[in-house]
Amino acid sequence: MNHKAKEPFVRITKRDSMPVWRGWLTRFIGLVLALIVCAIVIFAMVKLNPLKVYGAMWQGAFGSTKRIWVTTRDTMMLLCIGIGLASAFKMRFWNIGAEGQILVGGIATAACMIYLGGTMPTWLLLIVMFAVSVVAGAVWGVIPAIFKARFGTNETLFTLMMNYVAIQLTSYCVAKWENPFGSNTVGIINQTTKAGWFPAILGQQYLLNVIIVLTLTVIVFVYLRSSKQGYEIAVVGESERTARYIGVNVRRVIVRTMMISGAICGIAGFIAVSGASHTISTSTAGGRGFTAIIVAWLAKFNTFVMILIAALLVFLEKGAMQIASQYNLNDYASQMITGIILFFILGSEFFINYRLVFRGNALREKGGETV
């Protein structure tokens, strides 16, 4: 006997495309729904007016000129790492080693500040620090790339393990450079001379951070969209077999792209040490190497869109810290709010890339788009 298979109630199919305006509308709806759900959760947990809580989040990120610049500084740092990951991820090389690449860039910067701080003018020292951080990050990125290209190793595990090596290397340097002796911290490097610190521009301490990262944003956008090498990255990411068929040297592309990815993450370490904390520790990266994966992925490797994503994530972080202190909430409550918002944002990406086909709509699936 022949039994006709029963059609499922709902099926998930991949969308061919979605208009840009509709994609942004979907994200906006997801954000609104997230705020509504957060409002319900806030009132249920602590009986607070959700609007006041959202106002406190805004104050935490933008409540004063100093807070605005700190938020901007942290946004630029996260954006820089996301830019570094963009090229590797577009090639489908899962670079989970941004944390380590940031740390080695920071170590190289700190070493220059400590050993060369009194031997050359600040402008020259900054150039040297920038160069050595680029080289350090590139080397840390190219090691797993060579093993991937030559021996087919798993880049996810390899880059992840490189993070732990970088952490131990940082611990060694902290013990070597600790100041004062026995403190197990490096302390503020060149606190009196400020040798190697980013200079204030137009009276703003973090303006150079913004200039460097936005310049990288433009350069990488053009590189990925308009250059021959950017085209090769896209082809390798789609299919290595296709890339080889059309004459692309896949091994060279992998090594070159990871060298660029690591170099930019090394620049992030340079910015973190010279342009922000003026010290080095195992927490210099602060988990941002993993957060930047969300930035790169949600933006679909568009570096200009990454500016918005990075700003949103930093805003949520600052806002969560503010409501935790202002309303005496524990970290779990504030992080729950952040998690709900991120869940809805990530969920909106699902509906941008996929659609739901309900039972009885099989014929419509070919003729027109369903929900």
Tens digit of each residue's pLDDT (9 = 90 or more) over 334-353: 778 878 888 888 888 888 88
Cα 85 from Cα 79, distance rounded (Å) = 10
Percent of the chain with pLDDT over 90: 57
Tens-digit pLDDT profile for residues 348-367: 888 888 877 776 665 455 54
pLDDT (mean) for 49-62: 87
The pLDDT score that the predictor gives to residue 27 is 84
Tens-digit pLDDT profile for residues 242-282: 999 999 999 999 999 999 999 999 999 999 999 999 999 99
Closest to 82 in 3D by CA, of 313, 331, 236, 325? 313
Tokens of 115: 């050993």
Tens-digit pLDDT profile for residues 304-319: 999 999 999 999 888 8
pLDDT (mean) for 65-86: 95
Least confident of 7-16, 33-42, 126-135, 151-160: 7-16
Angle between helix axes 50-62 and 65-90 (nearest 10 degrees) is 90
Cα 55 from Cα 323, distance rounded (Å) = 9
Tens-digit pLDDT profile for residues 214-238: 999 999 999 999 999 999 999 999 9
Most confident of 164-168, 296-300, 346-350: 164-168
Average pLDDT value for the chain: 88
Closest to 87 in 3D by CA, of 170, 160, 145, 23? 145
Q: Is the peptide bond before 121 cis (omega within 30 degrees of 0)?
A: no
Cα 216 from Cα 201, distance rounded (Å) = 19
Tokens of 34: 């997230």
| pTM for this prediction | 0.88
